[in-house]
């Protein structure tokens, strides 16, 4: 049996998929399988997956009609063969030693491990680095409310034990967003969490990303997940199932563009102006973007 299974979902990710797969297959540790769920892609994703699977027998491709990230992960984790599952997102990249170092940490007895993550634009410009401390994350997951809770640096940076995943109940299909936090809340009750301080995961932040466009829905689902943690009844799952990701909108894209522009401004990256200008072009009433443009002009970060 392989040491662990990497589970990834992809939907119309042809542009980013090769770099992601190369980073996974280029790990220093090679005894693993890659379970890729093609979630109904309509671009060149299927042909890219066929090509990579033909070259490397560690890749297994599962195809399905478009069902969303959560259901794709449920299927991928369900068909993973190893006792350890590592997550990865299409469009992101892992440091060559990520899996080896995380597996060593998991073997110390933790049920969930992660690492620091660097967030960058699609052009490769750094936005920020997310770090966390395992004991504090677990404490937060077990006790904090929606306003204060914090979790892993990135969903795709996680590695966890299969038995903990199954015991916790796995990803719940009712959570089409915040599915990771909902799972971590339940896994945290089963054991300790450890997070490596080194940046071993590189995440791409895109203004069109689902999380960027569905912030309101994410907040609502986070509150429901915490209510369930605190003893709420099963009717909360029915409520969660009725919350669907927001459709792309100019105001949603403006909010995401503003966030990226603000991060670039803090990094003293001159590209901040383009993002803030794009934000006000999509939503002229986005006053924070206007303020950012004004402050940026005078060198205030």
Report DSSP letters for 196-212, one per residue.
EEEEEEEEE--TT-HHH
Within 8 A by CB and 6+ apart from 214, the residues are 177, 245, 246, 252
Instruction: Please provide residue 110's backbone torsions phi and psi, each rounded to the nearest 5 degrees.
Output: -75, 155
Q: Residue 195: which pLDDT band, with cuts at 50, 70 and 90?
A: very high
Distances in Å between the alpha carbon of 267 and those of 104, 154, 262? 34, 20, 9
Considering the entire predicted model, what is its pTM? 0.94
Number of C-beta neighbours around residue 284 at 10 A: 12
| Cα 246 from Cα 291, distance rounded (Å) | 26
Sequence ranges of the domains in the chain = 4-208, 250-297
pLDDT of residue 300: 58
Contact 209, 248 (CB under 8 A): no
Span 136-163, average pLDDT: 97
Confidence (pLDDT) at 46: 98
| Structural element, H or E, at residue 112 | strand 112-120
Structure confidence by residue, pLDDT tens digits, 219-271: 999 999 999 999 999 899 999 999 998 777 788 888 889 999 999 999 999 99
pLDDT higher than threshold 70 for residue 84: yes
Extract the tokens encoding 277.
């200008």
Considering only residues 190 and 1, tell me which one the structure prediction assigns the higher pLDDT. 190
Cβ-based neighbours of 136, under 8 Å, separated by 6 or more: none
Kindly tell me the number of DSSP H helices and DSSP E strands found in the chain.
13, 9
Distance from C-alpha of 40 to C-alpha of 63, rounded to nearest angstrom: 7
Q: What pLDDT does 128 receive?
A: 96
Task: Give the pLDDT of residue 1.
Answer: 73
Res. 102: pLDDT tops 60: yes
pLDDT score of 58 more than 70 = yes
Pairing outcome for strands 112-120 and 159-161: antiparallel
Predicted local distance difference test score (pLDDT) of residue 301:
59
For CA atoms 90, 198, 154, 87, give the dihedral sign. positive
CATH assignment, 4-208: 3.90.550.10
The single-letter DSSP state of residue 248 is P
Q: 204: which strand partners?
A: 120
Give the C-alpha separation, 225 to 213, whole Å. 20
Residue holding tokens 């009609």?
Answer: 65
Across the range 86-105, mean pLDDT stands at 97
């Amino acid at each position: 049996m392989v040491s662990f299974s990497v589970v990834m979902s992809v939907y119309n990710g042809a542009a980013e998929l090769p770099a992601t797969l190369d980073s996974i297959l280029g790990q220093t540790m090679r005894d693993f399988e890659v379970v890729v769920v093609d979630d109904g892609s309509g671009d060149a994703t299927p042909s890219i997956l066929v090509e990579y699977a033909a070259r490397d027998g560690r890749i297994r491709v599962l195809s399905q009609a478009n069902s969303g990230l959560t259901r794709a992960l449920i299927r991928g984790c369900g068909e993973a063969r190893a006792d350890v599952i590592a997550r990865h997102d299409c469009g992101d990249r892992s440091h060559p030693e990520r899996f080896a170092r995380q597996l060593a940490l998991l073997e110390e007895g933790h049920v969930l491990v992660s690492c620091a993550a660097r967030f960058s634009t699609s052009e490769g410009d750094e936005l920020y680095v997310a770090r966390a401390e395992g004991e504090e994350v677990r404490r937060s997951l077990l006790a904090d409310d929606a306003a204060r809770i914090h979790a892993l640096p990135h969903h795709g940076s996680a590695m966890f034990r299969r038995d903990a995943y199954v015991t916790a109940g796995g990803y719940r299909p009712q959570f089409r967003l915040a599915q990771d936090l909902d799972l971590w809340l339940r896994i945290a009750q089963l054991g300790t969490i450890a997070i490596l301080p080194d940046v071993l995961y590189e995440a791409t932040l895109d203004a069109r990303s689902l999380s960027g466009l569905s912030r309101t829905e994410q907040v609502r689902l986070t509150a429901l997940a915490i209510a369930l943690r605190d003893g709420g009844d099963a009717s909360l799952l029915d409520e969660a199932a009725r919350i669907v990701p927001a459709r792309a909108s100019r105001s949603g894209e403006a909010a995401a563009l503003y966030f990226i522009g603000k991060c670039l401004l803090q990094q003293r990256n001159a590209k901040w102006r383009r993002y803030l200008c794009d934000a006000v072009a999509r939503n002229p009433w986005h006053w924070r973007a206007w303020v950012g443009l004004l402050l940026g002009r005078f060198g205030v970060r």
